[in-house]
Amino acid sequence: MGGQQEEEPSVRLFREYLRIRTVHPQPHYDGAIDFLERLSVELDLPCKKIEVCPGRTIVIITWEGTDPKLKSILLNSHTDVVPVFEEHWKHDPFAAVKDQQGNIYGRGAQDMKCVTIQYIEAIRKLKSEGKRFPRTIHLSFIPDEEIGGQTGMATFVKHEEFRALNIGFGLDEGLANPGDAFTVFYGERSVWWVTVRCQGSPGHGSRFITNTAAEKLAFEEQIQKWCQDAGDGVQYEFQQKGMDQQVTSIDKSNPWWQTFSSTCQKLDMTLQCEIFPAATDSRFIRAMGYPAIGFSPMNQTPILLHDHNEFLNERVFLTGIEIYRSLIPALATVSPLEGEA
């Protein structure tokens, strides 16, 4: 591999972002915000900061279209990453080490700092070519996705600033695909996070103590029945209870999907359409009635989100920039839809 000075600038930027420790439980969000503000200056695009919860700020970078009355394109990514167990990593998870094969190791390499930089670098190239598109493009950078999104996107979608974005279609994160295909997600599972509080007598588990919390917490068919059967002093509450089953149409009659899929086809990409096995901020976007697709352009890559030794190969990363370089113009030039003309 060549020296650092010979490295592709977009790869160098990706590695710089990976070194910002936006890791729970105390993400360094100020570092990420400063980084994103600097990039907005480089791109000569306006940047807006919106504090949706105390200490939780959303950053929006906007590239206005030639017809800003048309519905906009939202390119969404989150800034936070999950914790690490450093003893299981072969490299420092926040050093963004690149090995001889071009694999870049770091927490967030796949989930999802790669996509953030791919969006930005695709737009940098398009702007440098003097391109303009009818539809406005918004890049949103969201905190706290990894802890459920309640202090991030879930609050933001109810904010007047979100409605003002005038969104027509959104892109958000997906997953890597170990094969040649690229995985695309048009919906996701409903999240239920439940807190059960069970009171009982304390003491070591080896002692035969009556009325312990563990003794009272039985396993039955339904949570409510569990708590009823457990006895007095057992309550439960939902931290999250996702009931919305909105999915984005992947029928050719949907102009957004038709544009997305046909652009990928022109790039000789095979798409594998699935329901996301967990949940992302896309669920909040879809719940507001906006179509959204989960997509991270990573094929021939093991799925390592939240795993030890998370990495992304620089070749795959650079290819992803070129994919967005085709997708973004295509989506931003979708003809006016009913009600937009």
So which residues are the catalytic ones? 80, 145
Q: Which amino acid is at 122?
A: A
Q: How far apart are CA 15 and CA 13, in angstroms?
A: 5
| CA R_g for the chain | 22
Q: How far apart are CA 337 and CA 341, in angstroms?
A: 7
Strands 137-142 and 72-78: parallel
Q: Which amino acid is at 170?
A: G
Q: How far apart are CA 304 and CA 306, in angstroms?
A: 6
Contact 17, 323 (CB under 8 A): no
Handedness of CA 80, 281, 140, 184 (dihedral sign): positive
